Structure 1
Amino acid sequence: MIPHPTLYAFAGCRVFLAATAAFVSALAAVAETQLENAGAALDFEDSDIVVSKAGDPILRLISIRFDYHDPISMRLVSRDESSLILEALYPSAVEFNNDPNDQTPRPATIEIREVPGGFRIHSSPTWADQCTLVLQDLGDHFFGLSEPLQPDNQKSPDLRGSSIRVEVASEGQSIVENYASAMSSFYLSSFGYGAFFDTFARGRYDLAVNGANRIHHDTGELDWYLFFGDDGVEVHRHYFALIGDPKPLPLWGLGPVAWRDQNDGGSKEILGDISRMSDLRIPLTSWFVDRPYSDGHHAWSEMNFSKSFAHPKKWIQTIREDFGLEFMTWTSTAMFGSERFPKHLAGAFTYLDLSHPETVEQFQSELAKKQYAHGVKGHKMDRADEVFPLYEHWHDRSIGPAERRNRYVYLFTKVHHEALQEAWGDDQVNFARAGIHRAQPYLSALWGGDPRSNWQGLQSNIANGIRCSFMGFPVWGTDVGGYLGEGFIDEELYIRWLQAGSVNGLFEIKLDGAGGDGEDRMPWRYGKRLQSAFRTVCEERMSMLPYLYSISHNARETGAVMQPMAYRHLDDPRTYAIWDQFYFGPNILVAPVLEKAVKRSVYFPAGTWIDFDDPSQRLLIDTPQRIEVDAPLGKLPRWIKANSILVTGDVYQGNAKRWQDRREPRLTIKAFPGIEGESCLFEYIDPFDENAKKRITLERSENKVRVTAPSIACPVTVEIYDPAENGKPVAFSLEGPIDVSWELR
């Protein structure tokens, strides 16, 4: 008997309905375990936590270990629109409680929640002391974590295949580095995400080692953030939204700052140095004095100005009023044997216990009375990373040895910032060699430790700075000329170090050898060539203050001042190992010469690149490539990409008041048009209009270029660089709102 066609249709309908039901059920299961945020999807899949972008997995977390144990099981227990709650069971604690009959699994609740820009994974089982994340190696590359050149002194910032310790400790570093000490539990992946383990507990990161990535911290609390973006700027934007905006610098903190390691001649020597620099017409904006300048242990512990620096209010006032410079001092919370504060930590340096409120209050009070009252407006902050005692009891007993080194550095920064803020508001600067995540809102800048005064020291220190940018410290600076070794250095090395330092966020110039060895490197000890190069570099830095001021205040949005190549080009593997060139802010590509040479190889991304010194010279790069460029001794290789705005000007005199007539600030907006249809903007921070944000836009439509901006609180010149004009700008002098158009030829 042949079945009726209707029966076939009915049977097929049943099969179809069953398949549809299974499909709908599968979709529901996915929906129950998936979160979507910031262009990424997170799914709980077969006990793994998988994160994807555009359908491709970028992270697979295969185990969350507490006390080194994998979970026995993990299941989804609830979810809402923005979170998943998982329950995990771990092996019993029989090895710890000595009860062989206790086989009760230990539970842990794991919450995964959407946060701005990404996800937070959190768990805090009361029984745990250690946390390890195990991720499958998916082939990505990693950047950040450590300013020291871990491992093996490698200059490349690419940490794939590396094991990295995350704990601020200068002891045991290689001889090349000498106290480059900043650390962070933040790393950036080439797959377009940043990971931040929010703890001060020491950590170890094994990245692409034996087929996996392992993230370990000596804490029982898991507090791990994932942020997503197409480049480091976007990822850091979300990161800063969590930890707070980085601390901006005043104009004077961004200009050239100079100092000696030791001032045996006291205040007279400082005034003499500033006077002779001014006689050479080398512009500066600030000066600082390093230790020793005080009384007490290690010529510091009294925190005052000693006899050779007597009457500080008078000579600091001279520095400010007669020379136009601000003045800073060396500080530390190490007292080197003195125990005159309420609570010290035992050890060779007798550090202050910064968890003890009365000790902090006295330290801040003495800074105010002994320094700020005389006009000191900032500090070079030293130590906190050296010979640090781990096992002395802190006033705050909740802070155990595993987190003391890192937390101390955070407190060290915060305590100084609070004291300066109380005295000067935002008109102050603090920079430290020791750094840790979450210190960014309280720290103006990092300085890169004590590099050796040779080519290797210069190279390694710039590599240190590149790593700090990946870690999320926007402003970093080298000791120009180096710290350890000779005072008087080779002229070519000196010039190249000045050039490289001038494109750091912090530009500080060391004018003698370590410990005042009698060999200084004051420019008057050299010939006219060095003096001219010194002057030119400092003049150019002064002209960049409007640009630097804006990106310092906009660091949450614009990212680091020194932007590594991979930071901007995560999708280009050829950038991952580059440490010797970078973007100086968003608009300038720089390639300082870091060896004895007059040529160097530069990696150019695709685009049109305009020579900074000679805009008539343009490179049209169709595909990213390396090109050897000329770099004679007087030239710092720099390029501006087409479709960019560069804001420069004469906005701060400093000691130039000694040889320049009093002049009102002037701003120059330099516009470099792109191709038809391209546009860009630069958010200018106006220091003469209560730091108002003013959007400057550049647009090209067909052959017309238009530059617009609101009123700026000083006279403005707009320069449009038309390629047909052979590098000569078309200039417009304006006041009031800006709206300039130009027909390209």
Structure 2
Amino acid sequence: MRKIHRSSFLYILVSSVWLLLSSCSHSYRVDESLLVLQRGQLQLTLTAYQDDTFEVLIHSIDQQPFPSFAKKEQIESQPLVVVEQDHQSITLLNGVLKAKVYFDDWRVEYFRGKEKLTTQIGFSVKERQRGFKFSLSEKEQILGGGQRILGMDRRGHRMPLYNRAHYGYTTESNQMYYSLPAVMSSKKYVIGFDNSASGVLDIGKAEPNTLEFESVGGRASYLMTAQETYPKLIESFTQVVGRQPLPARWTLGNFASRFGYRSQQQVLETVEKFNQESIPVDAIILDLFWFGKDIKGHLGNLSWERDNFPEPEKMIATLSAQGIKTIVITEPFILSSSKRWQEAVDHQLCATDAAGQPLRFDFYFGNTCVIDVFNQKAIDWFSGIYNELTEQGIAGQWGDLGEPEVHPDNAIHQLSEYGIHARGDEVHNVFGHQWAKLVYQQQREKRPNTRPMIMMRSGFLGTQRYGIIPWTGDVDRSWGGLQSQVELSLQMGVLGLAYTHSDLGGFAGGETFDPELYIRWLQYGVFQPVFRPHAQDHIPPEPVFHDRETIRRAREAINLRYQLTPYVYSMAIENSLTGLPLMRPLFFDTSASFNRKDSYFWGESMLIHPIARPGVKKERIELPSGVWFDFFKGERFDGTNTLDYQTSIESIPVFIKAGSFVPMVAPFQRMQDYSTEQLQVHFYADESVSRSSYRWYHDDGMGVDNLAKDRFETTDFTFSSSDQQWLFSIERELRASEGLPKTRQLTLVLHNVQAAPAKVMLDGQLQTTSVYQKAQRTLTIKVPQQQTKHQLTIQFLK
């Protein structure tokens, strides 16, 4: 990428602004939802969005501002509230966030209540220079920048803002597949730089107390959001940049995937192995051999290689009849050696050189051009390719190399939607974003009643609104590769990309099979957003091709993943409603360190601690405040203590917070067979928790607009205790009936029950079928859900 030198990056700072602009005429006005300042040829516009977000845009009044890619398309501004105003400044309020804008130098101070959060202290809007500077307080911690392996607190780092492949990474990386020009502060604010160009994010590296965004062009704009808690902060920010459309439930199941299946017969034989081993599987992913016999020379063919896949439609139908979805890879390159090269030239599909000719260049796979996914001609052509695949029965699309992996800075892209053109380095970081948008719109148009499934390796702020499921790229098949995964997913999830996941087992390299590494990675995968083993095939990534002990342990892990579907899918619905990620940092709990990446919350009830080193017999684990229970052993632990936890290869440490409800079902083989008619809900009691609650979400798993049209159900579980009596309330709100059980057999399993109850009353009637197991300290109670509300009272002897 183009290197940006600080000596060449001109900032308009407090002193220089005064000298430059004090002699110019200036003016300002406040409309209902925006503040406009003008001085000479420059204009600053401050707009209020949703609650708690301001956008600042600076541009020359004689030029059209570069388009915003971060903000969702349909977004309404909010009325501004003028708090105070004098000849020097104006203070505006939006929700809890205040902005004080100074007229002389265009500094902007941000406050939440009386607490000062940060100040925009400088900006640049020169021809090839865009950027902003912000102040940082002394002890402030900052995460952000997207996929990096630098530690959770990124303060003290200077990071390229340029999406770039990092093949075979392990425990360190400053530049990867999916950068994000955004930060989240320990002071509970987010700043997102709405700029698509090649740039740099400096978090106190060049200047210790300064945050700096720089780029070579594009839009000079940022979004500032503040809130009182981290979950509310994420909810407010994703209101502006967009949230993940609810994925189809089958995407939460197990995938068969490798680089790659080389024939139709191999695909069918692999699925049959899963069937023979009784290991659940819901999808199979075909890498680039579906359109070419070799790795090199075929990108851009994008049609079935009929010698090895003679009847793809029949293969897809055969798999579909077994409840298994087929996904294929596509790339944004058309090689000059491919079958479609002349088609690409004739239809003007490629990014061009300055003379308007297809810009050709060489990279690993051959001589090529890159498809101009911003150009309407290329959009229509690429959509036609996806239409053909959809008609053949392909259930999901996998977009690879979408950084793009090779992208000349001087490539010219036609941004048809905006009537402008741009250099490659001006739109590099939104290439994957635009590609995802193209596929999402094609899928919605072609299959309006089906939720899109779109895997993409790269994108931008807000790309989740196009249904993107990102992964962490070509990780090394090593313990170092596994150790980096929690950090990568957490950093992405808090800024909206909640389905970021890893190739389970590792992708790149590895000379021999390491069963311990493989199982530990799969055990972690149970508690990551997408369960997808994937690797180079000299060591099979699928569990069914390994030894009996590995198969047994993998089966147990995958079965557990499926048993937890009610819990995981409820989190998916919650993410689409609120933006809250599935994997959550421990600093969501105020007692936990901002920099922790060895453990994380899986939803609101679980804490996960992956085992990421070989031969571990005892693991030191720090639990947050509260009381926690070992999910597998039932043992009780007090939080804020460091445990010397005895590990086993059978499982990784998983803890349940006291007072939590965890819904589960019996094992099953396909998501199409998933049912909640028999639902088991585990509750973890402790004398330290006298009140708790949990909302469980559920729908038919398929309807596209279920959330928007209120076609889902919620069940609220509440618990309270007093004077040797426990009271449970179970209240179901069934907003829709289609695809949902009218009645449900609910089994409530209470853990840590110290003695058998004296009396159990269900809706005022004595309940005589409850079972108390003294050794396990569990009480099991059947609750037939035949009405919307049930009350359960449990009395113990004093």
Category of TM-score, reference length = shorter chain: 0.7 to 0.9
Matches within 5 A, 1:86-125: 86=37, 107-111=42-46, 113=48, 115-125=50-60
- Quick one: structure 1 residues 114 and 588, their matched pair in 2 at CA, closer, same or farther if it must change by over 3 Å? same
Matches within 5 A, 1:208-607: 208-209=204-205, 210=207, 211-219=209-217, 221-264=219-262, 266-295=263-292, 298-307=297-306, 308-321=308-321, 323-337=322-336, 338=338, 339=341, 340-341=343-344, 342=347, 343-345=349-351, 346=359, 347-348=361-362, 349-369=368-388, 371-385=389-403, 386-396=405-415, 397-424=420-447, 425-486=449-510, 488-510=512-534, 513-514=535-536, 516-517=537-538, 519-555=539-575, 556-557=577-578, 559-566=580-587, 568-569=588-589, 571-572=590-591, 575-596=593-614, 597-607=616-626
Matches within 5 A, 1:64-143: 65=12, 70-72=17-19, 77=28, 85-86=36-37, 107-111=42-46, 113=48, 115-126=50-61, 128-129=125-126, 130-139=129-138, 140-143=140-143
Cα distance between partner residues in 2 of 1:431 and 1:165? 24
Cα distance between partner residues in 2 of 1:135 and 1:170? 29
Matches within 5 A, 1:148-227: 148-149=148-149, 154=150, 156-170=151-165, 180-209=176-205, 210=207, 211-219=209-217, 221-227=219-225
Deviation at 1:479, TM superposition (A): 0.7
Q: Which has the larger radius of gyration?
A: 1
- Quick one: structure 1 residues 288 and 727, their matched pair in 2 at CA, closer, same or farther if it must change by over 3 Å? farther
Verify the 8 A CA contact 2:285 2:328 in the aligned structure 1: yes
Matches within 5 A, 1:2-13: none
- Quick one: structure 1 residues 278 and 70, their matched pair in 2 at CA, closer, same or farther if it must change by over 3 Å? farther
Cα distance between partner residues in 1 of 2:18 and 2:421? 28
Structure 2: which amino acid aligns with 1:472? G
Cα distance between partner residues in 1 of 2:584 and 2:305? 42
Structure 1: which amino acid aligns with 2:793? W
Cα distance between partner residues in 1 of 2:194 and 2:700? 34
Structure 1: which amino acid aligns with 2:791? V
Structure 2: which amino acid aligns with 1:164? M
Instruction: Provide the secondary structure at the position in 2 that maps to 1:710.
Output: strand
State the partner residue of 1:18.
none
Deviation at 1:167, TM superposition (A): 2.0
State the partner residue of 1:145.
145
Cα distance between partner residues in 2 of 1:117 and 1:249? 28
Cα distance between partner residues in 1 of 2:31 and 2:374? 39
Structure 1: which amino acid aligns with 2:243? D
Deviation at 1:586, TM superposition (A): 2.2
Cα distance between partner residues in 2 of 1:432 and 1:663? 30
2:661 is the alignment partner of 1:645:
yes
1:385-428 deviation per Cα after TM superposition (whole angstroms, max 9, x unaligned): 20112212222343334422112111111112222223333333
2:681 is the alignment partner of 1:669:
yes
Cα distance between partner residues in 1 of 2:372 and 2:147? 26
State the partner residue of 1:22.
none
Cα distance between partner residues in 2 of 1:188 and 1:458? 25
State the partner residue of 2:65.
none
- Quick one: structure 1 residues 134 and 356, their matched pair in 2 at CA, closer, same or farther if it must change by over 3 Å? closer
- Quick one: structure 1 residues 631 and 676, their matched pair in 2 at CA, closer, same or farther if it must change by over 3 Å? closer
Verify the 8 A CA contact 2:188 2:229 in the aligned structure 1: yes
1:500-556 deviation per Cα after TM superposition (whole angstroms, max 9, x unaligned): 12211011012xx52x43x43543543332111110011011112222222212214
Instruction: Provide the secondary structure at the position in 2 that maps to 1:575.
Output: coil
Deviation at 1:593, TM superposition (A): 0.3
131-140 or 371-380: bigger deviation: 131-140
Structure 1: gaps of 5 or more residues: 1-62, 90-104
2:707 is the alignment partner of 1:678:
no
State the partner residue of 1:99.
none
TM-score by length of 2: 0.75
1:175-227 deviation per Cα after TM superposition (whole angstroms, max 9, x unaligned): 76799411212211001111112222333222123232222234474322222
Verify the 8 A CA contact 1:143 1:470 in the aligned structure 2: no
Instruction: Provide the secondary structure at the position in 2 that maps to 1:493.
Output: helix
- Quick one: structure 1 residues 664 and 638, their matched pair in 2 at CA, closer, same or farther if it must change by over 3 Å? closer
Verify the 8 A CA contact 1:324 1:653 in the aligned structure 2: no
State the partner residue of 2:750.
721
Q: 2:792 aligns with which of 715, 736, 741?
A: 741
User: How big is the alpha-carbon RMSD for the aligned residues of Structure 1 and Structure 2?
Assistant: 3.0
Structure 1: which amino acid aligns with 2:335? F
Verify the 8 A CA contact 1:724 1:744 in the aligned structure 2: no
Q: 2:642 aligns with which of 623, 626, 634?
A: 626
- Quick one: structure 1 residues 217 and 629, their matched pair in 2 at CA, closer, same or farther if it must change by over 3 Å? same
Give aligned pairs, total. Answer: 645
Instruction: Provide the secondary structure at the position in 2 that maps to 1:609.
Output: strand
Instruction: Provide the secondary structure at the position in 2 that maps to 1:268.
Output: helix
Deviation at 1:353, TM superposition (A): 0.8
1:556-600 deviation per Cα after TM superposition (whole angstroms, max 9, x unaligned): 42611111223x14x55x522222211112221100101111322
State the partner residue of 1:50.
none
State the partner residue of 1:696.
716
Cα distance between partner residues in 1 of 2:412 and 2:675? 57
- Quick one: structure 1 residues 70 and 460, their matched pair in 2 at CA, closer, same or farther if it must change by over 3 Å? farther
Instruction: Provide the secondary structure at the position in 1 that maps to 2:446.
Output: helix
- Quick one: structure 1 residues 551 and 298, their matched pair in 2 at CA, closer, same or farther if it must change by over 3 Å? farther
Instruction: Provide the secondary structure at the position in 2 that maps to 1:398.
Output: strand
Verify the 8 A CA contact 1:447 1:476 in the aligned structure 2: yes
Cα distance between partner residues in 2 of 1:67 and 1:402? 29
Cα distance between partner residues in 2 of 1:353 and 1:336? 14
Verify the 8 A CA contact 1:681 1:697 in the aligned structure 2: yes
Cα distance between partner residues in 2 of 1:225 and 1:663? 42
Instruction: Provide the secondary structure at the position in 2 that maps to 1:134.
Output: strand
Structure 1: which amino acid aligns with 2:784? L
Cα distance between partner residues in 2 of 1:499 and 1:270? 25
- Quick one: structure 1 residues 488 and 419, their matched pair in 2 at CA, closer, same or farther if it must change by over 3 Å? farther
Cα distance between partner residues in 2 of 1:663 and 1:145? 40
State the partner residue of 2:628.
609
Verify the 8 A CA contact 1:248 1:444 in the aligned structure 2: no
Structure 2: which amino acid aligns with 1:708? I
TM-score by length of 1: 0.80
Cα distance between partner residues in 1 of 2:749 and 2:718? 10
Cα distance between partner residues in 1 of 2:542 and 2:425? 44
Q: 1:709 aligns with which of 725, 728, 731?
A: 731
Verify the 8 A CA contact 1:65 1:131 in the aligned structure 2: no
Deviation at 1:718, TM superposition (A): 3.7
Cα distance between partner residues in 1 of 2:462 and 2:656? 33
Instruction: Provide the secondary structure at the position in 2 that maps to 1:451.
Output: coil
- Quick one: structure 1 residues 146 and 526, their matched pair in 2 at CA, closer, same or farther if it must change by over 3 Å? same
Instruction: Provide the secondary structure at the position in 1 that maps to 2:334.
Output: coil
State the partner residue of 2:106.
none
Structure 2: gaps of 5 or more residues: 1-9, 63-124, 352-358, 363-367, 735-739, 755-775
Cα distance between partner residues in 2 of 1:740 and 1:314? 52
